[in-house]
Amino acid sequence: MTLRRTIPADVRPIISSALVISVAVGVFAVSFGVVSVASGASVMQTCALSLFVFTGASQFSAVSVIAAGGSVASALGGALLLAARNGVYGLSLAPTLRGSLGKQLLAAHFVIDETTALASAHEDMRLRRWAFWACGISLYTFWNIGTLIGALIGNSIDPKTFGLDAAFPVVFTAMIVPHLRTRNGRRAALFGAVAAVALAPFLPVGLPILIATFGILFGVSPDQSETEPT
């Protein structure tokens, strides 16, 4: 195969891991499509979220606040705060993504958890770039195909019968794990959880989620546990 010959040997394992991650994320996207439509978004809106927002946690969070009856402002607030971490990833990826402005603007759209993780796994700049672009392009493709399939399925089933309302906490549980490795991460998560439930009866839907963000102030003091091996 010519493709096999044109791809350098040290890049091949990177491309196969990018594809494996993308297939898994594609199935994950199906669940996003289903719950998004079930929460009142149209198929078009659901697909637009995956095409143009392209950051899973924010998409799930926005849809989850809307499903609970929250306002656009509160759904937007939480989702944007979650999206802010991609800005931090962008900072750490900037040396890897040097190039023309056009190329940087395109690369920016692919700066998410998975591409950052895969690119950061390599020391060599060339391999970092391969990992970033391979993961970004394949993830984007699978994420959007999965979303469309999910949105079409979601239109024709009753989500509660299949337990799909539990998809939100289940997905967020899987997502939060890497953030619980440090003590400050665990403190922030616990603070957020308590704030969200304790304030729910007294404030408009969505607002407790924003107040939960004050948990990041645990970061003001240095975390001894961050130096521990993980």
Partner 1 sequence: MSWWLVILLAFGAYGSKVLGVVVLGERQLSPVLQRCLVLIPAALLGALIAKDTFTTVQDFSIDARLAGLIVAIGATWKKVPLVLVIALGVGSTALVRALA
Tell me, what amino acid is at 163? G
Shortest distance (Å) from residue 165 CB to partner 1: 6
Site track 189-228 with partner 1 (rule: CB under 8 A), x = hit = xxxxxxxxx--xx---x--xx--xxxxxxxxx-xx-----
The reply to whether 175 sits near partner 1 by the rule CB under 8 A is yes
Residue found under tokens 């399939």: 149
Q: In whole angstroms, what is the distance from residue 54 CA to residue 143 CA?
A: 8
Please count the residues of this chain forming the interface with partner 1, following the rule CB under 8 A: 102
Q: Does 148 bind partner 1 (CB under 8 A)?
A: no
Tell me the Ramachandran region of residue 228: left when phi exceeds 0, alpha when psi lies from -120 to 50, beta otherwise: beta
The structure tokens listed for 206 are 């969505």
- Encoded tokens for 96: 């890897």
Q: Is 54 exposed, middle or buried (0-12, 13-18, 19+ CB in 10 A)?
A: buried
Subset of residues 42 to 71 that bind partner 1, contact rule: CB under 8 A: 42, 45, 48-49, 52-55, 57-58, 60-64, 66, 68-69
Nearer to partner 1, 8 or 94 (CB): 94
Least Cβ distance, residue 206 to partner 1 (angstroms): 9
Residue 172 sits in the site that holds partner 1 (CB under 8 A): yes
Distance CA 45, CA 63 (A): 11
Which span (11-19, 89-97, 120-128, 149-157) binds partner 1, by CB under 8 A?
89-97
